[in-house]
Amino acid sequence: FCSHVYRLKGRLHACISPSENGLTNGKILTGLTDGQLENLDMIEGDEYVRKTVEVVLTETSEKMKVETYVWANKDDPDMYGEWDFEEWKRLHMEKFIEAAKKFIEWKKNPDGRSREEFEKFVHEDPLVA
């Protein structure tokens, strides 16, 4: 699976999208419960599709099938450039973690509020973008 990690205009998070010659580095999480996967599915929402892909482990060159979240709209005009993890940590990680916590609180007690209310938390503050 060749892919690229793009920045998303106006968002606190990146996206993975198929790319002819792309290479995506990442972490493999194992041992997740069904409930944890459900939380991830809800946080990612309809904008992502959970897809099974084959990866090659850096350390051993072993091939492994894993699931990843791929941006559903491969032609999204908001995708651009190369996402930088260190920059994201410095500029956006704190707000992203805050948004994830608010989302989990909402899931426990929606109290009549819509998912869309909480999607705004993953959008960048224009002063930081």
Catalytic residue numbers?
44
Which amino acid, residue 67?
A: E
CA distances from 83 to 27, 75, 87 (A): 15, 17, 8
Beta-carbon count within 10 A of 33 CB: 8
Confirm if 37 and 48 have CB atoms less than 8 A apart. no
